[in-house]
Amino acid sequence: MTDDEKARLIEAARSARETAYAKYSHYRVGAAVLADDGAIYPGCNVENAAYPQGTCAEAGAIAAMALGGARTIRGVAVAGGKADTQPEDDPWGLASPCGGCRQRIAEFSKASVPVIIVTPHEVMLETTVGALLPHAFNLQE
Ligand code: THU
């Protein structure tokens, strides 16, 4: 992933966060995946009055990627946190992908694929798919 792709990926996740439908938790999340076709696919969380029906931002981004015809992820950015709060004051600051989304991401990624976790203010953590989900379930191996 180039520096330019990384910057565009982060911007796409932050922009997607603005569109989130987080009526119940009030915690907006945006995600974006960079695919091997060079496109960046964004998604946001979409909640529901029947709470378990809500979907994570990562799920939306992966659905958009599949719809676009891509099948391989080269990079992931996830944006959470509150725009009006500085990270050091914000206990919700780290929008680390949930367990289910780690498995969703791993389905389309090598272990070395970078995952960048950001707030509206700054980059919080740069890690990899393999670090987030070691020994991932995989039917092919
Ligand atoms: N959420 C995501 O969109 N991605 C994650 O990886 C963690 C959680 C959403 C789900 C719910 O709408 C809100 O954040 C609060 O849990």
The span from the CA of 17 to the CA of 45, in Å, is 8
Residue nearest to atom 7 of ligand 1 (CA): 98
Give the tens place of pLDDT for each residue, 119-137: 888 898 999 999 999 999 8
Q: For residue 20, tell me if it sits in a domain.
A: yes
Q: What is the CATH number of the domain that holds 22?
A: 3.40.140.10
Q: Evaluate whether residue 127 is within a structural domain.
A: yes
Nearest CA to ligand 1 atom 1: 56
pTM score of the predicted model: 0.93
Q: What DSSP letter does each residue of 54-115 carry, written as one string?
A: -B-HHHHHHHHHHHTT---EEEEEEE-S-TTS-GGG-TT---PPPHHHHHHHHTT--TT-EE
- Whether 137 maps to a domain, the answer reads no
Domain region containing 94: 3-132
The number of distinct structural domains making up the chain is 1
Q: What pLDDT is attached to residue 112? A: 98
- Percent over 90 (pLDDT), the chain: 79
C-alpha 73/C-alpha 97 separation (Å) is 15
Q: Is residue 139 part of a domain?
A: no
Per-residue model confidence as pLDDT tens digits over 19-63? 999 999 989 999 999 999 999 999 999 999 999 999 999 999 999
**Is residue 103 included in any domain, yes or no?**
yes
Residue 59 in contact with ligand 1 by CB distance below 6 A: no
Q: Which of 5, 11, 47, 58 is catalytic?
A: 58
CA-closest residue to ligand 1 atom 6:
97
Mean pLDDT of 64-92: 82
58 a catalytic residue: yes
Banded pLDDT at 74 (limits 50, 70, 90)? very high
Residue 51 lies in a domain: yes
What per-residue confidence (pLDDT) applies to 98?
96
* Residue 140, domain member (yes or no): no
Give the pLDDT band (50/70/90) at residue 139.
confident
Nearest atom (ligand 1) to Cα of 44 = 3
Closest CA to 38 of 82, 59, 69: 69
* Per-residue model confidence (pLDDT) at position 124: 87
- CB-ligand 1 contact for 48 (6 Å cutoff): no
Q: How far is the CA of 24 from the centre of ligand 1 (A)?
A: 11
Residue 138 lies in a domain: no
Give me the pLDDT at residue 96, please.
92
